[in-house]
Amino acid sequence: MTTLGRLSRLTGNWIPAALARPFGAPTAVFFHGVEQQISDPALQVNQHRLDAFEDVARLLKRDFDVLPLSAMADVLSRPAKHARALFLMSDDGYANTLTTAAPVLKAYDLPWALFVSTHHIDTGEFTPPTLTRIFFLEAPRGAHDLPHFDTPVFLGARTQREAEAVEAWKHLKNMPAPHAIRVLEFMKTVLAKTGAGIKAKYESENFLTWDQVRALDRAGVEIGAHADSHWAMHQDQPQDFLREQALRPKLRIEKEIGHCRFFAYPFGQRGDIGRGAWEAVRDAGYQNAFTTIAGTLNASTNPWLLPRYGLAAEESNLAAFLPVLRANNPRLRTWQSQIGT
């Protein structure tokens, strides 16, 4: 979490919810998946524990007007009229959003949107950060000469592997996608040889099928795009890669669901989105797109670079905390102007 995030969370916890509410502004928040229990926190970084997620749902219902994304245009045009408005979203498309998250959100009658990375729904492949973590945990002990890494990676004890995985991922995420894809292919080949039953062992990271995505659509969940492959759309990516990452998931989701109006950038921080990314998303015909940069929705001057807040593993006082996100609005606007807004 950023320093601002830590500070504002601290401040937020000191403000009683009833006091903070009148100073609110419309916000968007997101989660990834929900599991009954978290058995491996180093790997299941994207999963909420079910009872903590139920607490979040209860707070959202009590303290906010949780709206469907179809209300976004009205909220952006008249934010002052929607001070309690909140949009709830889930990224990636984990299978447990259907089995574990959806029943909770239905019980509280909370509308939500799901952003899927279509390549992963098509193939069932793990996301690149998940595959990287699994490789570093499961690959045989010894040296591995990963493509586009300056030196071989040595894998030994579990704690050392976890630390190496974090460093390797930082390097990998910033590579141009054609290079990074070669690294992932190398990892997949090594893992296939271990015969370790990886899919079953890391079940929480598995994806929905298209049948399941359609079931969520029929249940009223807005299906949006989270790029095609779950890669950063940073400024060093080739332009044709960015265009494909924006356009292919839209066409794929339209074919399965009938419409796809919204986009969420993978990772979604400043370094993960260049000018070419949001222009490709705009040109593909999306109504709005979401980052993971802190801010409130009234602040944005660019409808394809909207702010969003990632829900922490446990949240006790969202009504006090979320209005504090507006402290980051000036930085959001500065960044938007830096990348061409």
CB of 117 to Zn ion, least distance (A): 7
With respect to Zn ion, which residue has the nearer C-beta, 111 or 310? 310
Structure tokens at 212: 């399941």
With respect to Zn ion, which residue has the nearer C-beta, 76 or 313? 313
In 3D space, the residue among 51, 46, 52, 42 whose CA is nearest the CA of residue 32 turns out to be 46
Q: Which residue is nearest to Zn ion (CB)?
A: 91
Cα separation values, 50 from 39, 54, 96, 101, 190, Å: 12, 6, 11, 8, 33
Q: What 3-state DSSP class applies to 122?
A: helix
With respect to Zn ion, which residue has the nearer C-beta, 91 or 205? 91
Q: What 3-state DSSP class applies to 202?
A: coil
Q: What residues contact 301, with CB distance under 8 A and at least 6 apart?
A: 333, 336, 337, 341
With respect to Zn ion, which residue has the nearer C-beta, 288 or 298? 288
With respect to Zn ion, which residue has the nearer C-beta, 12 or 268? 268
Binding-site size for Zn ion (CB under 5 A) equals: 3
**CA distance linking residue 126 with residue 204, whole number of Å:** 10
**CA distance linking residue 175 with residue 144, whole number of Å:** 19
CB of 34 to Zn ion, least distance (A): 15
CB of 91 to Zn ion, least distance (A): 4
Window 219-278: residues binding Zn ion (CB under 5 A): 266
CB of 229 to Zn ion, least distance (A): 11
Window 38-97: residues binding Zn ion (CB under 5 A): 91-92
CB of 291 to Zn ion, least distance (A): 12
**CA distance linking residue 170 with residue 194, whole number of Å:** 25
The residues that touch Zn ion, with contacts defined as CB under 5 A, are 91-92, 266
